Amino acid sequence: MESLNSLARYKLTIFAEPAAAVSAKAVIPIFHKWIREHSIDDLLIDVADYTHLPSGPNALLVGHEANLAIEASSDAIGLCYIRKRNTTGDLAESLTRSATTLLEAARMLESDSEAMPDGNFTFQTDKLVFSPNDRLLAPNTAETARAVEKMLETFGEKLHGTNSVTIDSQTKGQQPTFSITPKTCVSLDKLIENLSS
């Protein structure tokens, strides 16, 4: 499916455990610090506080090419990388760069004691969720699902350094999501290393 290769708008999510230890309020000043210190390889613009909302993005770091967010749902809390602009290269290259940024941001949050007023949390490497956000290039069809699953299987093998990954799809409303799950988990550092090789 050729149109999928041009997909520029999507979301990647990695989840934190325990979810109760993650404080979006505590992450907001860290996002401001990342803007001041140019910690992320993107033009970072602003931070938005949505902690009054029970679900969705609670802390949002707005960038030119992508946003980062602490996002809550009824059963989990995660760090999201929300790509919103075209980039050079195909979708596989874009995913590699996006996942690297997401994982590096997760590692920075894990190592920042100011992010953890409610106790320590870690980002789990047992699942990475991909959500296409473009109904024109990635319509919610069986053909798109097969193409995304094939592409994510190749990406997941690179990410985890193994050919033992499972791709599960699920549809919530109009938007399908795809989970990349390895048989064995490795550290954030190892995932970042795998993507750079």
Closest of 25, 29, 49 to residue 39, by C-alpha: 29
Q: Quick check: helix, strand or coil at residue 99?
A: helix
Which helix (DSSP H) or strand (DSSP E) does residue 80 occupy? strand 77-83
pTM above 0.75, yes or no: yes
54 and 72 in contact (C-beta within 8 Å)?
yes
List, for residues 64-96, the tens digit of each pLDDT value. Answer: 999 999 999 878 999 999 999 877 778 889 999
pLDDT for the residue 28: 97
Higher-confidence position of 74 and 51 = 51
Most confident of 27-41, 87-101, 136-150: 27-41
C-alpha dist (Å) from residue 192 to 30, 106, 179 = 21, 11, 18
Instruction: Check pLDDT > 70 for residue 107.
Output: yes
pLDDT for the residue 95: 94
pLDDT bracket for residue 48 (50, 70, 90): very high
**Domain residue limits at 107:** 2-196
Mean pLDDT, rounded, of the chain = 91
Q: Rounded to whole angstroms, how far apart are CA atoms 131 and 75? A: 18
Higher-confidence position of 22 and 119 = 22
Report CA 102 to chain centroid distance, whole Å.
Answer: 5
Total domains in the fold of the chain? 1
Instruction: Check pLDDT > 80 for residue 163.
Output: no
Mean pLDDT, residues 122-143 taken together = 90
Q: What is the DSSP string of 14-41?
A: EEEESGGG--HHHHHHHHHHHHHHT-SS
